[in-house]
């Protein structure tokens, strides 16, 4: 950030009084501009024991498979964001939406809120951000072609919970290391 969105003057990075982190602060009007994590909302849409996947038509990770998810918009709830993303990416309507997992990704300053939901009518087709969509059984999941670690972990947790017929909300932190990712789940 170079300029203040309030007055247009230059900003500098410094720690405001009473704070402990560097912030962008306007050199003229002293407005503090906070940079906070982005919230991503997504869904595990199911239909007759199958899971709806989208093949990404956009970067990053174009051509790889994912669950419908995206950045939350202003003035919507996380559940509304998950439903909207499912409709945008897969032209699918979901119902019976339930919070399933919360993932903290501090290395990219994002929080993922993943929901479980049922397809209203089993109908889906690619939206603008998807090359194709597919309803897949567990044994057809393209594990080696999933777009993001959070998608893989979400699916593994979901499939285990489904086998036990006992769903709970998972709280997971994904830590990035030079050798890969580490998943820490709180009880």
Stretch 128-147: mean pLDDT, rounded?
99
Q: Which residues of 28-67 are buried (b: 16+ CB within 10 A; e: fewer)?
A: eeeeeeeeeeeebbbbbbbbeebbbbbbbeeeeeeebbbb
Percent of the residues in the chain that have a pLDDT greater than 90, as a whole number:
99
* Residue 187 reports pLDDT greater than 90: no
- The average confidence (pLDDT) of the chain is 98
Stretch 61-87: mean pLDDT, rounded?
99
User: Does one domain contain both 47 and 17?
Assistant: no
Stretch 165-170: mean pLDDT, rounded?
98
User: Does one domain contain both 23 and 42?
Assistant: no
Domain with residue 163: its CATH number is 3.90.79.10
- Nearest Cα residue to 11 out of 21, 23, 35, 36: 23
- DSSP strand E in the chain: where? 11-14, 23-26, 32-33, 38-47, 50-56, 65-66, 69-71, 94-105, 110-119, 130-136, 170-177, 180-186
- Nearest Cα residue to 11 out of 22, 23, 27: 27
User: Does one domain contain both 91 and 31?
Assistant: no
Range(s) of the domain holding residue 180? 38-186
Q: In this structure, are residues 28 and 12 in contact, taking their beta carbons and an 8 Å threshold?
A: no
User: Does one domain contain both 47 and 81?
Assistant: yes
User: Does one domain contain both 50 and 3?
Assistant: no
pLDDT tens-place string over residues 17-49: 999 999 999 999 999 999 999 999 999 999 999
Domain with residue 3: its CATH number is 2.20.70.10
Q: How many CB atoms lie within 10 A of CB 20?
A: 6
Q: In this structure, are residues 75 and 161 in contact, taking their beta carbons and an 8 Å threshold?
A: no
Q: How confident is the model at residue 178 (pLDDT cuts 50, 70, 90)?
A: very high
* Residue 164 reports pLDDT greater than 90: yes
Q: How confident is the model at residue 136 (pLDDT cuts 50, 70, 90)?
A: very high
pTM here is 0.91
């Amino acid at each position: 950030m170079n300029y203040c969105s309030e007055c247009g003057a230059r900003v500098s990075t410094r720690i405001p009084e009473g704070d402990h982190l560097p912030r962008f602060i306007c050199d003229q009007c002293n407005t503090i501009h906070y940079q906070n994590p982005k919230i991503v909302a997504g869904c595990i849409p199911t239909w007759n024991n199958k899971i709806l996947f989208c093949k990404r038509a956009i970067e990053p990770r174009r051509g790889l498979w994912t669950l419908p998810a995206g950045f939350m918009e202003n003035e919507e709830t996380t559940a509304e964001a998950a439903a909207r993303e499912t409709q945008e990416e897969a032209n699918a309507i979901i119902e019976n939406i339930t919070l399933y997992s919360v993932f903290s990704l501090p290395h990219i300053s994002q929080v993922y809120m993943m929901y479980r939901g049922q397809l209203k009518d089993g109908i889906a087709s690619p939206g603008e951000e998807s090359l194709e969509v597919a309803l897949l059984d567990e044994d057809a999941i393209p594990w080696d072609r999933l777009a993001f670690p959070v998608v893989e972990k979400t699916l593994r947790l979901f499939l285990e919970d489904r086998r036990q017929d006992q769903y709970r909300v998972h709280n997971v932190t994904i830590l990035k290391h030079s050798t890969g990712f580490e998943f820490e789940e709180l009880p």
